[in-house]
Structure 1
């Protein structure tokens, strides 16, 4: 691929190509609204798991009982990536493949909510498309297209190759201060119109904020949740509330992570019942989709910056798997939910 005229970036991308060629573990990423790219390189092929006390880059699955993978930072390389011209958005031809199955899945979810077993459940599907670009070229396009997202490329020979541009923070911790977000609801970005949220979206957002308040309260000395605001992520709008708090001295980061993951934005409410429903009814294994990733004590002890693995794809040979889902509540309509997943799929399909 064509490298930017930037020596440190050429060196960093060269390291990534080398790790891929030698099938060695690494993660390269850029946090939202920053120019610094960070590469974390492990020099052997061992598969390591973490209890969140280690230092490195963590890549965790949706089902945390399967273990969170750690890339050990044998070498850390940084570079500056400044935005060039934004890519022209490719027109994406959408397929109706999987529509019948997804409508049936959503209908099942609505029935389960109607029985009073769930308040909300997030249901998703997987799409496979042909791959014509290298992992590094895809990552470079994600950096250009999504400056407000956490963009990453991850590889481990035992896990596979993943990349994405996620708009959602799971949790940040620094000096005992904690920051997270309550994110729900989706509408397409059209023209320069502000979104008009219906009662379904507002209720869904309130549900997530209430859940976070209830879950985090015992671990924190102080907790503040802001009013919900409309935020744009690429060609979509979401409702988001900022959440801030101060951890109790005895609270450790593992407890906070286990309390927050999986969030209602990727699983549902109540968490365990929603998770059981997803495992039984989605017709594929999510693995690392809707898991989380990011820095673990990399910049110092108890300094953590983790993002939910949304807007992502798994790269495998000449194929890419793309994952899309949506939050189902009693007010959901199966056809509208299908359209929402179609809108969401344009994010990654446009990059490919």
Structure 2
């Protein structure tokens, strides 16, 4: 993977190789629809946590009580480069392993909703696959395959190596203006046909919009939530509403972040009950899957750009762990939910 025509980019990738060799922390990423690649490099292997007032790159777990990791920006490198989009990949062979367990888990979630304990819960599973590519080669492929996603590669010796291409913004804040999104529902992308959303998907997306409105309005001078639109993320369709607003001057950014995370798109409604159900029933620990990551005051104070850690994988030696999930409501069907996770798994499996 040589970029001799772009010496700055080659230097950035060499920096990443060097950090990996020395087992030092870094994050390299590109925001959606941008051509700027940013590398944040830490000079020692200290594990820093953050209360979201620091400067650097944040990598936060699903369960925020376990603390958010900060990569300190001892060196920050920016490079502009246009990655040509590769052709869509060949069909991925999917395994049926874990099908029964996942359908049983979904059935349990539906029963819990039927009892009135939950309105929605997001249930996930993980799968292990063998790895024949370097982390940097995987990242390079993500950049080329997913121009509309936040693509990243993260490493910390105390935390591990993660990468992904996520379609979902947690929150952006700049000059007191806030931007986020209400994202839910999934259908496979099939040719050029527009998705036909059913009542289950529309209800699921409305729930997320209502939740964001309820959670944020106290902190805002103004809050606008647009109508839902179909958006494409790789081989999937989602429903998304743009959310914009102006924060009150006294609003604490840390409070906004902890109010929004975890979103109903990765946890459920009510949040704490859904979280308890997930932790008691999923049979594995999500760690940083469905957490969030991104820039924290990196280039200006109170300038924040955070993304939800979806469509991601953890790289460990010659193995990759891929995580997939879906939102369960009273209208869910266990077999359909299994198929949805299978469709979602193609995003990362196609890269490997």
State TM-score, norm by structure 1.
0.99
How far apart are the structure 2 equivalents of 1:88 and 1:139? 16
Render the CA deviation track for 1:128-167: whole Å, top value 9, x for unaligned: 0000000000000000000000000000000000000000
How far did residue 91 of structure 1 move? 1.7
**Equivalent residue, structure 1, for 2:346:** 346
The number of residue pairs the alignment matches comes to 352
Q: Does 1:225 align with 2:212?
A: no
Q: TM-score, normalised by structure 2?
A: 0.99
Q: How does 1:316-335 map to 2 (within 5 A)?
A: 316-335=316-335
Q: How does 1:1-352 map to 2 (within 5 A)?
A: 1-3=1-3, 5-352=5-352
Deviation, 1:85, is: 4.5
Shift in Å, 1:4? 5.3
Deviation at 1:299, TM superposition (A): 1.3
User: How far 1:46 sits from its partner (Å)?
Assistant: 0.2
Determine the C-alpha separation between the residues in 2 that align with 1:75 and 1:68: 20
| Residues in 1 aligned to 2:298 and 2:55: alpha-carbon distance in whole angstroms | 5
How far apart are residue 101 of structure 1 and its match? 0.3
The 8 Å contact of residues 154 and 161 in structure 1, kept in 2 or not, is answered as yes
Instruction: Give 3-state SS (helix, strand or coil) of 2:258's partner.
Output: helix
- Distance, in Å, in 1 between the alignment partners of 2:87 and 2:24 is 30
Distance 1:4 1:229 in 2: 41
CA distance in 2 between partners of 1:115 and 1:5 (Å): 61
Q: CA RMSD in A?
A: 0.7
Give the conservation status (yes or no) of the 8 Å contact 2:50–2:68. Answer: yes
1 CA distance for matches of 2:198 and 2:92? Answer: 27
Q: Distance in 2 between matches of 1:79 and 1:351?
A: 23
The whole-number CA distance in structure 2 between the counterparts of 1:32 and 1:95 is 30
Q: How many Å separate the matches in 2 of 1:82 and 1:100? A: 43
Deviation larger for 4-13 or 320-329? 4-13
CA contact (8 A) 2:54 2:297 kept: yes
Following TM superposition, by how much is the alpha carbon of 1:81 offset from its aligned partner in structure 2, in angstroms? Answer: 2.2
5+ residue gaps, structure 2: none
Partners of 1:157 and 1:280 in 2: how far apart?
28
Q: Contact between 2:2 and 2:10, CA under 8 Å: does it hold in 1?
A: no
Q: Describe the SS at the equivalent of 2:73.
A: coil
